[in-house]
Structure formats: C-alpha cells, structure tokens
Structure 1
Amino acid sequence: MSAPTSSRTSFAVIHGLWTVFFFLGMSPGYYTPALSNILKSRGLGSEWVAYAFMAAPLAALISPLIVGSVADNRYPAQKVFAVIGMVSGVLLAAAFAALERFNSPCLFLGLFASASIVAAPMWSMLASISMVHLRSGEREFPVVRLGGTLGWMAAGVLTSFVFHFEGSPGAGYAAAVTRFAGAAIAFSLPNTPPMGNSRSLRTLLGLDAFSLLKERDHLVFFSVTTLLSIPLAVFFMHTPMHLIALGNDKPSATMTIGQISEIVAMLLMSVVMTRFRVKTVLMVALGLSALRYALFAISGETGNSGWLIGGIALHGLCYTLYFITGQLFLDRRVDPSMRTQAQGLLTLASNGVGSVVGTLFGKYLYDFTVEHQHGGWASYWWVQTALIAICLPVLAIFYQGVAAKKDAT
C-alpha cells in the first residue's frame, strides 16, 4: 500500500464520521445478539430463527451493488445513506411491532426483510464516504470505524443491564430509533458527489463491479471472503444460544466481549497496515478465526463456558484484521469511480452469498448435531472450524500480492 500522507483530516470530519459509525453500530448491537432469544420468547422454533437471520444475507444479494452504483454515478453518497437509513429505521420499528402487538412471525419477517434490503448497503457506503474524506486512510479509518464497535458494545450493555431487553422486542425499537437518528446526522457529513457519470443499465444495476474479479488477487480475496463468511454467519445466530445452554443469562452483554479485542485491533491497524503485507494480515486473521471456533468446540466438549468466552474475545480481532484490511485493500486498488460498488461487492460476498449459504447450512448442522444430539455443540463447532481452516491454503497458494509494486499488498 502507498505510504500514508503526513496531512491530517480535520477534527470535525473525523468526529462526524465517527458519530455516524457509532449510531450505525449501535442499531444492530441492540437486536442482533438478542434476536434468537427474542424469537424463542415468542414461542418460535429454530426454523424461525434461521429465517430471521436469513433476511440480511438475502438483502445483501439485492441492494448493495445497485445503491452503490447510484452513489457512484447519480446522487451524493451521504444523502443516499441518510435516506435509506431513515426508511430502514421505520421498517425495523414496524417489524418488531408486528411481532409484539400482532404476534405475526410472517409479517415480522416481511418487514424485517424489507428493512434489511434497504439497510444492506449502509456499512459499505459509510466506509466509502470515509475513504473519500480521510487524508490518511490507513491511519484514520480504523479510528473512525471504531465508533461502530463502541456503538455495538454500548447497545449490548444497555440491552442486558439497563433496558433489560433480553428476549424483548424492545431491543428492536431501540435499534430503529438509533438507526433513524444516525441517518439524520449523516445529512451533515461532508458532501460526497458521484465520481462516475455512466447512465447505462448495466452500471445502474451495479454489474460493473464484477469486472473487478478479472484481476487475480481480487478474485482470490472475494472467493476466500465468501468461504469465510459461511461459518461466520452463525456467530450471532448460535453463540448466544450456546451461552444460554451453559447457564449464561446475559448473552447480549457477554457477546460485547468480542468488541474489546476489536477496539485493540482498530487502534493497532495503522501500525499493522504500514508494516505488514496484506496477505500476511489476512492469513493471521484466518488462523485466529479458526482458533476462535476451536475454542467454542472445546467449550462444547467440556461444558465450560470459559472456553466459549475466550473464543468470543477473539472475534473482534478476527473481524478487524480481515474485513477492515480488506476494505482498505479495495480502496487502494480500485478506481475512485467504483469505490462504493467495490465495497458493495464485498458486502455481497460476505453478508450476501457467504451468509446465505452459512445460515442454511448452520441451521441444518444445528438441527443435526444439537437438536438431535449427534455430537452436540462440540461437533457443531468443530465442523465450522474445519470450514474456516479450508480458507488458509486457498489464500496462501493463490493470492500473489503486488509487493514489488508501489502498493506493497
């Protein structure tokens, strides 16, 4: 990667981006760790849990590239972000109202899926907006992105210890209000006009982003990301359920332990990205990801929640080293007119294709190993560990990097 510039972004810009990231992270932080238990408290079984967790992955297959193309070619990105945030906030509130007041899981899923489709591009769009205005992405983006981590943590603590929303649709209402507020603040972000000017149908559908896959390292990175996201899809779906099974009655708060290591990793990213090759960082991230689920499996074998909590503590480190590195990698390797679409393609690979497959497979595996007691939690997590381990040789063998060039990736 190119050497970071010595100039610094103004405090007002960094503060604005950090604040929007905080609210963006806080919104799913309220309901995601609690969702499995919310649905179970309404008498809904594992199939409904899987359906609910399938909403976001399916949404990621639909909207990130299209909305990214609109921001790249038609309208200022910060305005697009603000509008979709407000709309998704309203839909999210309606979804949890349908669950609480009408006890209608079908209506809940329809509204929840609609909210997910509208909101799916938000993380990738905010990352792209940040890259445009930060003068030193390697140094400053991790600091800005840290706002999302702290927001997620704050929501988990509030859910468990202040609002007592474990198993309550109130977590969804809090998420909706937070998302709407963050979207409103986004209107005050620096103007981010479209860099492209294409009006073709192919461009407006976001299909130009797939041209990135013609480059070998891009193809390998997106392929490994998709494979990694298959086992990652079940982290928030089944880890809280495993915690409950081990007697932990504050799973949302416990899950925020993962964000502690994420904070540390974010603060170290500027050093990591200037001293190590991208391939090295990604390999370390994959190794730690496999170790995380191996610790989960040991917890399943021993019945000791300490192993499970130890694995949760690695989650933030794994996520940051892989996905934040990937976002920075794409920002430096992609033409500015396709930055938002490239980040959208990353969302499509991770939160879309990988998560759809991972959610479906995770439900089948959970039913077979845990529900029907063919090996229990230990077998469940060992299989997921093996899926991550497959990613390591794929990246090691096929990713080449450009160390001899100026990007040093």
Structure 2
Amino acid sequence: MKSTTRAQLSVMMFLQFFIWGAWFVTLGTFLGTNLQANGLEIANVFSTQSWGAIIAPFIIGLIADRFFNAERILAVLHLAGAVLMYMMFNAENVAVFYPYVFIYMVLYMPTLALVNSVSFRQMKNPEKEFSFIRVFGTLGWIIAGLIISLLDWDNSNAETGALKNTFMMAAIASAALGLFSFTLPKTPPVKNAEGNKSFTQIIGLDALSLLKDKNFLTFFIASVLICIPLAFYYQNANPFLTAVGLENPTAKMAIGQGSELLFLLLIPFLFKRFGFKNTILIGMLAWAVRYLLFAYGNAGELSFMLIIGIALHGICYDFFFVSGQIYTDAKAGEKYKSSAQGLITLATYGVGMLIGFWVAGFVTEHYKTASPADSFWQNVWLVPAGIAAVVCFLFSVIFRNDKKTATNA
C-alpha cells in the first residue's frame, strides 16, 4: 500500500470514530441534564443505535454493494450527518431531538461497514495491514473524550448546557470527513457473485441453519443476553461517573478504549492457550466484576474501583465479542462465513442491545422512585452484574468444547 493511501485511510478511520466518541459517550448525561429526559426517554434515544444496526445491512447490501462507489456514499452520509448533528445541537427537548438522532443513526451505522470496505479494497494483506489502520479509529474515540474533559463540558460544575457543544464538535468533524471522503481511493461496486448476494444472505438469514448446532445456539443466545449488561454501560456509565463527582469522567472513560487495544493483542495467545470457552467466560465474568466495582466504588477513597471498572472494558468487550467473531468464523466455514458474522452482528448490536437499552431505561426509572437517593446507582449496577453472572454460569454449564472449537483454538 502506498504511504499516501495509508495516510488517507488512517485519517478516515480517525475521524469516523472521533465523530462517534464526540457525542455518544456523554449522550446519557446530556439527555438527563440538558433535556431533562427520564430513564425511558433516554432508553428510547439510545435504542436508535440498535435500529440503525438493524437497518444498516439493507442500505449497504441492497444499495452500496450494487450501485455506487463506497467512498461516495460515505461522503454523502457524513455530510447529511453533519446537518443532523447541527439540528441536535439546537434541539430544546427530547421530542424534537429524537427524530434527528434516529435518522442520524440509520445513516451513521452503515458507515462503519463502508470505512472497512474502503480500507480492505486497498490492501494486499488485510490480516497484517488492517489493524494498523483501525487503531487510528480507537485513537480518534480517545481524543474526542479527552477534548470534552479538557474543555470541562462534562463535569458537574461545568457551565449549564455545555454538553450540547459535543454535537457541534461532531457536526464539524462529520462535515470534514464527508468532504475528505471524496478524495479517498475509488471503491466501486464489486462486479461478481459476492456483489449480488441474495436478500437472505445480506441480512444473514441463510446462516440460521447453524443454530441446529447446540453449542452455536448456546453462544448465539448468550451473545444476545450479554448485550443487556453492555447497554447499561453505554447508557449509564457517563451519567453515573458525572453524578458521583469523578473528575473529568469522559477522559477517564477513554481508559476503556486504551485497555481495548492492549487486550486485543492478548486474544490470540489466550484463545490458543485456554480455548474459546474459557476465554469468553473470562469476558462474561469481567462484566459482572465491573458492575460490582461500580456499585460499591465512589469518587473518593474508593475511586480506584471506578477506574478499574472502566479499565476492564478491554476484557469485557474483546474477550467476548472478538473471541465470538473468531468462533463464529470457525463454526461457519466457507459457505456461511460472511452470513454468520452478519447474523451475529444483527443479533447483538441490533436485537440484543435494543432489548438492553430498554431494560436499562426501565431499571433506571424504577430505582429513581423505589430506592433512597444514596443507594440509587448501587441498585442500578447490581442488576447488570446479576444478569452477567447468570449468563456466565449458564454458558459454563451448557456449552461444551468440540473438536472444531479445539482445533481452531
């Protein structure tokens, strides 16, 4: 790959995830503080991510893969996203905010696949080259969080309404990426059988036959269920850290992305040494431990518990989701390789997190009135801790390593 192309793809990936990290991390805090949204209204807004994930395959599979260059679609979607971000910046209540964020998520989620498509098409050896491009995406997310805390938009003593500035920052970055995308290497539709996938292949339904395998079915159900605790983190972590008075909460949450990079490097070693089952069990257990740390930690002498809980993000996310992608690839074989990954993505980021956001919203709203103020957050975090522990236990009992898993481990 040419150095200029590598630089272009790195900038693209940086901006792609800078945009997401610029507003999504603090969204829960913004909705509750600036728009006075209740728990269920916040859940409704967060669920737009899941609807976007469900609709994204249709946009990419039925439109992008067939008719238009990927970089041009990427440009148009981000330019439209910049306008929607500006509208969210000006929204004065949840009723006005919701339609904009819904449309935005429907447009943004397909771009996650588009940036990968543009990248892979320029690579001769994606297995070795892609990680060095993708790392700039995580760096972009981290930088966005650092800027928010550096400008003091996220602290409880910050100027009233300051968090709305995150949407303006995201709008500027989105406009920049939209314009920059027109300069990216041309990535036309693939004119072969892979570019003419059937409707069932596009949304992964032809991989449903894999669910006849008891182990894969167990993993599939566990993947959906573990997304409920994951949704609690996305929806409540920043409001929680802000409410308890942790200094620069958004910057500290970037520790989670840093740990994600570290533990990502350990997955091949652990997968080969301990196998899929044990690796994924560590990931599930980490979710329970993380929420227990949140439940009993504080911003004072026990602030280290909150920091450790944030730092566990690498284990929570990588050990389950990345290991799961490796396992799915091994079980699916060549026939269902891409469809199986699509099915798992649809089940987790789509259905699983959709359920999770609503459960998190209901639990949060319930404990606002059903528990004393000083134990509110403790009660909220004990729920996902319990769910993660139950899923971990059931998976350990029901799932059995087989030859194919062991061979690929």
- Aligned position for 1:36: 28
State the alpha-carbon separation in 1 of the partners of residues 117 and 328 from structure 2: 10
State the alpha-carbon separation in 1 of the partners of residues 216 and 73 from structure 2: 26
- Aligned position for 1:118: 107
Whether the 8 Å CA contact 1:93–1:173 is kept in 2: the answer is yes
- Aligned position for 1:395: 395
- Which structure 1 segments of 5+ residues have no match? 1-8
Aligned pair 1:55/2:48, yes or no?
yes
Q: 2:16 aligns with which of 21, 24, 38?
A: 24
Distance change (3 Å), C-alpha of 1:192 and 1:400:
farther
State the alpha-carbon separation in 1 of the partners of residues 355 and 382 from structure 2: 18
C-alpha RMSD over aligned residues = 3.6
State the alpha-carbon separation in 1 of the partners of residues 89 and 118 from structure 2: 32
* Shift in Å, 1:107: 2.4
Distance change (3 Å), C-alpha of 1:303 and 1:219:
farther
- Aligned position for 1:257: 255
SS at match of 2:163: coil
Q: What do residues 257-280 of structure 1 show as CA deviations (whole Å, max 9, x unaligned)?
A: 212211212343454455553333
Whether the 8 Å CA contact 2:154–2:248 is kept in 1: the answer is no
Whether the 8 Å CA contact 1:402–1:408 is kept in 2: the answer is no
- Aligned position for 1:381: 381
* Shift in Å, 1:297: 1.6
Q: How does 1:128-147 map to 2 (within 5 A)?
A: 140-147=129-136
Decide which moves more: 352-361 or 78-87.
78-87
Q: How does 1:202-217 map to 2 (within 5 A)?
A: 202-203=200-201, 207-208=205-206, 210-217=208-215
Aligned pair 1:312/2:310, yes or no?
yes
Aligned pair 1:69/2:61, yes or no?
yes
Letter in 2 for 1:306: F
State the alpha-carbon separation in 2 of the partners of residues 362 and 76 from structure 1: 39
The total of aligned residue pairs comes to 397
Whether the 8 Å CA contact 2:12–2:177 is kept in 1: the answer is yes
* Shift in Å, 1:114: 0.6
State the alpha-carbon separation in 1 of the partners of residues 281 and 312 from structure 2: 15
Decide which moves more: 68-77 or 275-284.
68-77
Q: What do residues 246-265 of structure 1 show as CA deviations (whole Å, max 9, x unaligned)?
A: 22252211211212211212
- Which structure 2 segments of 5+ residues have no match? 156-161
Whether the 8 Å CA contact 1:243–1:305 is kept in 2: the answer is no
Whether the 8 Å CA contact 1:212–1:219 is kept in 2: the answer is yes
Distance change (3 Å), C-alpha of 1:211 and 1:172:
farther
Letter in 2 for 1:39: L
Whether the 8 Å CA contact 2:28–2:238 is kept in 1: the answer is yes
State the alpha-carbon separation in 1 of the partners of residues 186 and 334 from structure 2: 17
SS at match of 2:408: coil
Distance change (3 Å), C-alpha of 1:67 and 1:157:
same
Whether the 8 Å CA contact 2:57–2:203 is kept in 1: the answer is yes
Identity value in percent: 25
- Aligned position for 1:321: 319
SS at match of 2:297: helix
Q: 2:168 aligns with which of 164, 173, 176?
A: 173
- Aligned position for 2:150: 161
- Aligned position for 2:158: none
State the alpha-carbon separation in 2 of the partners of residues 34 and 14 from structure 1: 31
- Aligned position for 1:298: 296
- Aligned position for 2:217: 219
Q: How does 1:216-255 map to 2 (within 5 A)?
A: 216-255=214-253
TM-score (norm 2): 0.81
Q: What do residues 35-61 of structure 1 show as CA deviations (whole Å, max 9, x unaligned)?
A: 123223434132432222122123223
Decide which moves more: 133-142 or 257-266.
133-142
Aligned pair 1:106/2:95, yes or no?
yes
State the alpha-carbon separation in 1 of the partners of residues 330 and 259 from structure 2: 26
Whether the 8 Å CA contact 2:86–2:167 is kept in 1: the answer is no
Whether the 8 Å CA contact 1:66–1:206 is kept in 2: the answer is no
- Aligned position for 2:352: 354
State the alpha-carbon separation in 1 of the partners of residues 251 and 323 from structure 2: 27
Decide which moves more: 144-153 or 160-169.
160-169
